[in-house]
């Protein structure tokens, strides 16, 4: 029986020879999914073992997918895309209808895809840092005041000695907040209807603020109590008519803490996230500066 001659003129071209017929064999047709897994794996510079390790399968499984001998479980597709740095639309060669890339964005994406996994992580970390800085830049200005949460002793004498005796409170800047130095909590109903029990009030400290004029509202220390009252000609007056003015002798210890500049809306208290953002953006800023005040 004569030996079958084989045409070897195509050797080295990458074409396959059918050993039975000696003719060119048809190239196997792989599913699109299999071809694209191989394409993006090679483009990303990953070995089959490396891809397999990232998605938790054997390297034989990846080899079988790429050679059309099997297909990945549908539940693995998100992990495969993540490992290859692509989307499902990329994997199936489909156009993502929700994405409209600019030429600059497309160029960046193409550059990102050819980076090694380590360099990709570096780019992602840098991008995340830049996003945080950008978010910090959009954070509104924040002021630090002192909030006194308990009655203040009159034994200090000089109201300036109260600095640092309270707890910090961080507030979004506003005209009223910028004029204030500290925050008090109202206790009682003697200043209703303008001030209610548990309201937070902003106070501009003395001696930074000018002396009160008659008719203005201030925060005062009388004995061992603190009060929010109207500075009247007859003494410290309440807005609630059922309370009589507080009158004092010349020898009584009465100290003015400061002028009440307004009521603090709780929404003006800055979130911890915004405070951290503001600190990140303004590390050089010196934070400037609530006591329970009876009415």
Mark which of 103, 121, 137 sits at the end of a domain: 137
209 in the same domain as 186: yes
Question: 6: Cβ–Cβ under 8 A, 6 or more apart, which residues?
Answer: 17, 19, 22
pLDDT for 178-211, tens place per residue?
888 888 888 888 888 888 888 888 988 766 445 7
Position 287 pLDDT exceeds 50:
yes
Structure tokens at 180: 């204030």
pLDDT at residue 21 above 80? no
Nearest to 242 by CA among 288, 178, 295, 280: 295
Provide the domain count of the chain: 2
Whether 148 contacts 290, CB under 8 Å? yes
Do 112 and 201 fall within a single domain?
Answer: no
Percent of the chain clearing pLDDT 70 (strictly above):
74
**H-run or E-run covering 145:** strand 142-147
Residue that is last in its domain, among 108, 137, 166: 137
Which percentage of the chain shows pLDDT scores above 90? 8
Provide the pLDDT for residue 137: 65
C-alpha pair distances (Å), 138 with each of 112, 113, 133, 223, 274 = 28, 31, 9, 46, 10
When pLDDT is averaged across residues 120-147 and rounded to a whole number, the result is: 81
Range of the domain at 261: 142-294
CA dihedral 87, 92, 98, 104 (to 10 degrees): 60
Q: What is the mean pLDDT of residues 141-157?
A: 62
Task: Let me know whether 114 and 167 are in one domain.
Answer: no
């Amino acid at each position: 029986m004569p030996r079958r001659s084989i045409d070897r003129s195509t050797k080295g071209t990458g074409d396959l020879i059918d050993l039975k017929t000696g003719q060119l064999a048809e190239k196997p047709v792989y599913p699109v999914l299999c071809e694209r897994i191989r394409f993006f794996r090679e483009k990303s510079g990953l070995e089959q073992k490396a891809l397999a390790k990232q998605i938790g399968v054997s390297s034989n499984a990846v080899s079988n997918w790429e050679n059309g001998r099997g297909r990945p479980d549908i539940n693995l597709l998100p992990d495969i895309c993540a490992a290859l740095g692509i989307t499902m639309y990329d994997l199936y060669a489909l156009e993502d209808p929700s994405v409209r890339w600019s030429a600059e964005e497309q160029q960046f994406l193409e550059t990102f895809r050819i980076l090694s996994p380590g360099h990709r992580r570096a780019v992602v970390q840098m991008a995340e840092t830049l996003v945080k800085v950008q978010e910090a830049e959009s954070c509104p200005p924040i002021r630090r005041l002192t909030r006194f949460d308990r009655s203040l002793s009159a034994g200090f004498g000089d109201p300036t000695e109260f600095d640092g005796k309270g707890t910090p409170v961080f507030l979004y800047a506003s005209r009223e907040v910028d004029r204030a130095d500290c925050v008090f909590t109202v206790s009682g109903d003697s200043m209703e209807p303008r001030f209610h029990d548990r309201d937070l009030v902003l106070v501009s400290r003395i001696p930074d603020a000018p002396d009160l004029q008659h008719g203005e509202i201030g925060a005062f220390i009388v004995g061992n109590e603190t009060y929010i009252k109207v500075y009247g000609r007859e003494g410290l007056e309440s807005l609630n008519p059922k309370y009589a003015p507080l009158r004092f002798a010349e020898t009584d210890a009465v100290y003015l803490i400061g002028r009440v500049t307004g009521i603090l809306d709780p929404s003006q208290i800055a979130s911890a996230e915004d405070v951290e953002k503001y600190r990140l953006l303004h590390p050089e800023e010196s934070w400037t500066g609530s006591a329970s005040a009876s009415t």
